Structure 1
Amino acid sequence: MSSSLPRRVEPLEILDDPYPTYADLRVAGPLCRFGPGVWGVTRHADVTALLRDPRLGSEFPADYHRVSGGGGPATQLLRRILLYRDPPAHTRLRRLVGKALTPAVVRAMRADIGAIADELLSAAWERGEFDGVAEVAYPLPVQVICRLLDLPVTAGEELRQRATDLGRAFNQIVPQEAGPRADSAATWLREYVSDQLAGRRADPGGDLLSQLLAAEDHGDALTRDEVVDNAVFAFFAGFETTVHLIATGLAALAADESQQRRLREDPSLIPAAVEEFLRYDSPIQGVARLVREPVELGGRTIRPGRVLVLMLGSANHDEAAFADPGRLDITRHPNPHVAFGGGAHLCLGAYLAREEASAVLGWLVRRGATLRSAGAAAREPGSPFRGYARLPLRFTTV
Structure 2
Amino acid sequence: MTLAAEELPVSLRIDAGARRVRLDPTDPAFVQDPYRAYAAIRAVCPFFFWEDYDHWCVTSHAEVGTLFRDRRFGRDLRHVATRTELGWPELPAHVARFYAFEDHSMLEREPPTHTRLRGLVNRAFVSRSVERLAPRIGALSHRLIDAIPTSGAFDLLPTFAEPIPVTVIAEMLGVPVADAPRLLDWSHKMVAMYQFGRTRAVEDDAVAATEAFVGYMRSVVARRRGQPGDDILSLLLAAEQDGDRLSEDELITNAILLLNAGHEATVHAIGNSVAFLLGGARPRQPWFATPERTAATVEELLRIAPPLHMFTRYALQPLEVDGVAFRTGDKIGLLIGAANHDPAVYEAPERFDPDRPSVPHVAFGAGIHFCIGAPLARLELQVALPILFERLPHLRLAETPRFADRYHFHGLEALRLQV
Return the TM-score normalized by structure 2: 0.88
Q: Corresponding residue for 1:168? A: 192
What residue number does 1:126 align with?
A: 150
- Name the residue aligned to 1:49: 66
Deviation, structure 1 residue 70 = 5.5
Separation (CA, whole Å) in 2 of partners of 1:259 and 1:73: 51
Residue 214 of structure 1 is matched in structure 2 by 238
Name the aligned partner's letter for residue 195 of structure 1: S
Residue identity matched to 1:387: G
Q: 1:87 aligns with which of 95, 104, 111?
A: 111
Please give the secondary structure, in 1, of the residue aligned with 2:383. helix
Aligned residues: 395
User: Equivalent residue of 2:285, what SS?
Assistant: helix
The answer to whether residue 34 in structure 2 is matched with residue 18 in structure 1 is: yes
Preserved contact between residue 95 and residue 204 of structure 2 (Cα < 8 Å): no
Structure 2: how far apart are the matches of 1:19 and 1:225? Answer: 40
**Conserved in 1, the CA contact under 8 Å of 2:317 and 2:328?**
yes
Is 1:29 the counterpart of 2:53? The answer is: no
Q: Which moved more, 1:228-237 or 1:63-72?
A: 63-72
Distance 2:363 2:200 in 1: 28
Amino acid of the residue matched to residue 279 of structure 2? A
Q: Which residue pairs with 2:177 in the alignment?
A: 153
Residue matched to 2:320 = 296
Cα deviation digits, residues 259-318 of structure 1 (max 9, x gap): 523325556311111111111121110100001133433332223221010111111111
CA distance in 2, matches of 1:333, 1:67: 47
Share of identical aligned residues, percent?
A: 33
Aligned pairs (5 A) from 1:1-398: 2-3=16-17, 11-35=27-51, 38-60=55-77, 71-124=95-148, 126-127=150-151, 129-171=153-195, 174-263=198-287, 265-266=289-290, 268-367=292-391, 369-382=393-406, 384-395=408-419
Gap change, CA 1:177 and 1:299, over 3 Å in 2: same
Deviation digits for residues 106-135 of structure 1, max 9, x if unmatched? Answer: 222221111111111232263463212121
Task: Decide which moves more: 319-328 or 65-74.
Answer: 65-74
Distance 1:344 1:7, change over 3 A: closer
Cα distance change of structure 1 residues 220 and 172 upon mapping to structure 2, 3 Å threshold: farther
Q: 1:331 to 1:371 in 2, by over 3 A?
A: farther
Range that drifts further, 313-322 or 294-303: 294-303
Supply the distance in 1 between the matched residues of 2:356 and 2:89 (Cα, whole angstroms): 39
Closer/same/farther in 2, CA of residues 66 and 345 from structure 1, 3 Å limit: farther
Q: Is the 8 A contact 1:30 1:297 kept in 2?
A: no
CA distance in 1, matches of 2:69, 2:235: 29
* Aligned residues of 2:95 and 2:203 also touching (Cα < 8 A): no
Contact 2:20 2:49 in 1 (8 A): no
CA drift of 1:183 comes to: 0.5
In 2: Cα distance, 1:318 partner to 1:105 partner? 33
Cα separation, partners in 2 of 1:66 and 1:372, compared to 1, 3 Å: farther
1: distance between equivalents of 2:380 and 2:406?
A: 25
Q: Residue 104 and residue 66 in structure 1: after superposition, are their counterparts in 2 closer, same or farther (change >3 A)? A: farther
Letter in 2 for 1:18: P
Structure 2: which amino acid aligns with 1:336? Answer: P
Instruction: Label 1:11 to 1:37 Cα distance change in 2 as closer, same or farther (>3 A).
Output: closer
- SS at structure 1 position matched to 2:193: helix
Q: Deviations over 1:182-207 (max 9, x none)?
A: 10110011111110011111110111
Deviates more, 1:358-367 or 1:65-74: 65-74
3-state SS in 1 of match to 2:264? helix
Gaps of 5+ in 2: 1-14
Is residue 168–residue 384 contact of structure 1 (8 Å, CA) maintained in 2? no
Distance 1:298 1:272, change over 3 A: same
**Per the alignment, do residues 257 and 117 of structure 1 end up closer, same or farther by CA in structure 2, a change over 3 Å counting?**
farther
Offset, 1:152? 1.9
CA–CA separation in structure 1 for the residues paired with 2:154 and 2:89: 39
* TM-score (norm. length: structure 1): 0.92
